[in-house]
Structure 1
Amino acid sequence: MANFTSVCRTFLKCVALLLLMGCQSFFYYPKKEKLFDPTSLRMQPEDVYLKTRSGEYVHGWFFASQQSDSKGTLLFFHGNAENLTSHFLMFQWLPAQGYNFFVFDYPGYGASSGKPDPKGSVEAGVAAAEYLYEFKDSRPLILYGHSLGGIVAMRTAEEVQGRIPLRNIVIEASFASYKEMGRQVMKRRWWTWPLQPLSYLVISDQYAPKSLKSISPTPLLFIHGSGDRAVEVESSERMYAEASFPKELWVIPEGGHGDLYEMNHGELREQFLSYLSKTSTASQ
């Protein structure tokens, strides 16, 4: 009986490790193929290829403001699935409102080389910020991270702090710890619920943000849908509590994961544009 119990424990530990290793890969679901053509929306982005510190080449699209004088530049860190050829749709309306925006792929996504991991994602974010500041817009940048892109955006902000001015950091439906997100995934099923503590042993936070307080005094905005099933709204509430002022938290009633700007006839778009205008005026 003792031997049987020992075998069962060993088996469960192996299963737990495999599941948690899967949690690390759970963060990345890249696709290489082109999923949507922006020319069908009469948009013609500029193709950009950047080299990261590790030598990978990452692909980006730069969409210029459709107004004569741009109001700023938004650097978009997309989520964990597909690639930029679908994610650009989230802000396809922004150039008409006077903003440039740049969306890029992490290593292993779309036309980018390499394989996805936390280090490579942050290096891609840093390369994108450096490119925009040097070649496109020397004014403070707006960093916007959705889902997985949120944690990458926050760490990127720390990496470029003091070198590249930042106007806003906006984090939608995201998390500040890979370990904690892994634990939340384990928590969702009864048969993995007891294994939650192992996420802290297997998953690394080496490339997560070191401290949300360090981002201050750049204004931080957290956005989350109350009905989000991919990343629970409590994640944004925890980040908001940890961050220093200036900060805001918007919880969108019944909002899901990635549909917030399409709800209620685009109501959030106007709210977001007002926020950018307000914070731009305050920073001058």
Structure 2
Amino acid sequence: MASLLPLMRGVLLAGALLASGCSSLLFYPMSPWVQNPARQGLDYQDVVLIHADGLRLHSWWLPAATDEVAGTVLFLHGNAQNISTHLMGVAWMPAAGYEVLLLDYRGYGLSEGRPRLPDVLDDIQLALDWLQSRRRSDAPLVVFGQSLGAAMGSAVLARPDNRDKYDCVMLEGGFANYQDISRDIMSKSWLLRPFGPFVRAGLPRDLQPEQQVGALAPTPLLILHSLDDSIVPFAHGERLAAAAGEGSEFQRLRGEHISAGRDPAVQARLATFMQGACRH
């Protein structure tokens, strides 16, 4: 019986993926925090964004630690945990003059609801609209998405009504295609591999990141991807770069998945891009 447990777990997981519309493959939310910005010596405020239907989303606002604000950053984290575990990716930005909004999608951290596509795109839209309504006229608005946040952010930013709401985009560790990344992930497990075609059939086909990034042109776009990425293969970054249009740049990195914000050299690269390309 014990030898059957791994197989049973695999079958149950696959069944859960199918029953949930495959959202479980994309979203791995965590409620408890592991830290808050104060533990990193950062000033912050809790911001609650409220959808028209009453759904409440929690976020952190990090004010710039400089007299002059260089810009505003909307940070869209990856698919696992919550903003407390992704904080270090942007913790350096306030000292560089940037104010940052870290959004927890529905079901993550203190945010209400259950994450699933396309509903989570409405959370990103709400955050973008909130920032647009309070933005400084002389400070650019930058959208920085990592992994799944890069994929979902691209879909929202590509909407025609949003074209004037942001000034530049940075996408790190993003994938090019929902079906392809699910194949990459599920092929690592012989238990899940047989269920791959069913899962891929339930994933969105009209929100493919490699179809969205081209629509961002001519907005300045920086795509970053690590050659060492063990979660999203480097080929996905190359595909996004190939699909991106005028005004795009591609930066090859070293190191693990979405670890750019922890590397001072990459921080300098991001700051250079925001200072040079992101003009409002």
Aligned to 2:168: 168
Change (3 A) 1:107 1:20: closer
Aligned to 2:252: 251
Tell me which of 269, 276, 279 is aligned to 1:278. Answer: 276
Aligned to 1:269: 267
Change (3 A) 1:195 1:78: same
Aligned to 1:83: 82
Amino acid at match of 1:271: R
Aligned to 2:99: 100
Aligned to 2:109: 110
Residues 224, 250 of structure 2: 8 Å contact kept = yes
Q: TM-score, normalised by structure 1?
A: 0.84
Greater shift, 201-210 or 128-137, is seen at: 201-210
**Other structure's SS at 2:231 match:** coil
**Other structure's SS at 1:211 match:** helix
Amino acid at match of 1:277: Q
Residues 16, 198 of structure 1: 8 Å contact kept = no
Alpha-carbon offset, residue 217 of structure 1: 1.0
Residues 17, 23 of structure 2: 8 Å contact kept = yes
Aligned to 1:18: 15
In 2, Cα distance between equivalents of 1:271 and 1:15:
44
Q: TM-score, normalised by structure 2?
A: 0.85
Is 1:234 aligned to 2:235, yes or no? Answer: yes
Structure with larger Rg = 1
**Other structure's SS at 2:87 match:** helix
Change (3 A) 1:168 1:33: same
**Other structure's SS at 2:48 match:** strand
Q: Which has the higher contact order (CA 8 A, sep 6+)?
A: 2
Residues 88, 261 of structure 2: 8 Å contact kept = no
Root mean square deviation of aligned Cα: 2.4
Alpha-carbon offset, residue 206 of structure 1: 4.5
Deviations 1:64-110 (A, max 9, x none): 11111101101000011111122122111100001111101000011
Alpha-carbon offset, residue 146 of structure 1: 0.6
Change (3 A) 1:165 1:202: closer
Change (3 A) 1:240 1:142: same
Amino acid at match of 1:83: N
Change (3 A) 1:87 1:15: closer
Instruction: Give the unaligned 5+ runs of structure 2.
Output: 1-10
Change (3 A) 1:99 1:186: same
